[in-house]
Amino acid sequence: MSEKMKQVISVLKETYPDTEISLEFDNTYELLVATMLSAQSTDKMVNEVTPPLFEKYPSVKDLAAAQPDDVVPLIRSLGLYNTKSKSLVGMATKVMTEYDGKIPHTMKGLTSLPGVGRKTANVIMGNAFGIKDSGITVDTHVKRIAKRLGFTEQTTAKKVEQDLMKIVPQEEWVDITHLLISHGREVCKARKPRCNICPLSDICEEAFEFDHFNNT
């Protein structure tokens, strides 16, 4: 691990000691559904639609028996609701038919499910199964902050993940995602980062540029 990354992890853990995944769930099935719904939607919005969704479809078996058109009214407030409804039912159907009703515990198995990419699979592996060495979940916050801190020049989530995996210890792969997301929401915002209060401003590649811009 680079000294810079070591410092970032240390500072962010001190700044956000209680950070954790913000999606609300009670089991692996619920986390998988919530994570699939979170694409192009905020976790807050997802947490608002999942209670009635899980009330109607409390298990993967119940969801597999549904039609996409049945799911749409429950998630209509989210983006891409038609695509998501088809993916949810497709995922549940495949889990029932090919995995005996159990969410697969491997990256290969998870990414074989409709609507489940590497990002979603990493969330499940780390937060549901406690498997910390499958990869690093890269969302818009993680991608943005990794670039601003000078850890990557890549623009795709997959390549950013590869760069981060080279410098972040495996035991920190789950936590680094939560830490960077918390920092992105609270301080290192996309349009107007709050560099004046950022605990990482002294080691950030772009802090001076943004600080100068925000004060002119």
Q: Specify the DSSP class assigned to residue 138.
A: -
pLDDT given at position 216:
44
The H or E element spanning position 137 is: none
pLDDT given at position 2:
82
Answer positive or negative: Cα dihedral of 163, 167, 168, 169: positive
Q: Specify the DSSP class assigned to residue 189.
A: -
CATH topology of domain 3-18+136-214: Endonuclease Iii, domain 2 (1.10.1670)
pTM (2 decimals)?
0.87
How many CA atoms lie less than 13 Å away from 22 in the CB half-sphere?
17
Alpha helices in the chain (DSSP H): 3-15, 28-37, 43-56, 60-64, 68-75, 81-98, 107-111, 118-127, 140-148, 157-167, 173-186, 207-214
The DSSP result for 154-177, as a single string, is --SHHHHHHHHHHHS-GGGHHHHH
By the 8 A CB rule, do 151 and 5 touch?
yes
Dihedral angle, C-alpha 193, 195, 198, 203, nearest 10 °: 110
Query: In CATH, what number does 28-127 get?
Result: 1.10.340.30
- Residue span(s) of the chain under CATH 1.10.340.30 come to 28-127
pLDDT given at position 164:
97
By the 8 A CB rule, do 63 and 57 touch?
yes
Residues with a catalytic annotation lie at: 119, 139
| Cα separation, 41 vs 109, whole angstroms | 25
pLDDT given at position 98:
97
* 216 residues of the chain, pLDDT tens digit each: 688 999 999 999 999 998 889 999 999 999 999 999 999 899 999 999 999 999 999 999 999 999 999 999 999 999 899 999 999 999 999 999 999 999 999 999 999 999 999 999 999 999 999 998 899 999 999 999 999 999 999 999 999 999 999 999 999 999 999 999 999 999 999 999 999 999 999 999 787 665 544 544
- In the three-class reduction of DSSP (H, G, I as helix; E, B as strand; rest coil), residue 197 is classed as helix
The closest alpha carbon to 83, from 51, 39, 23, belongs to 39
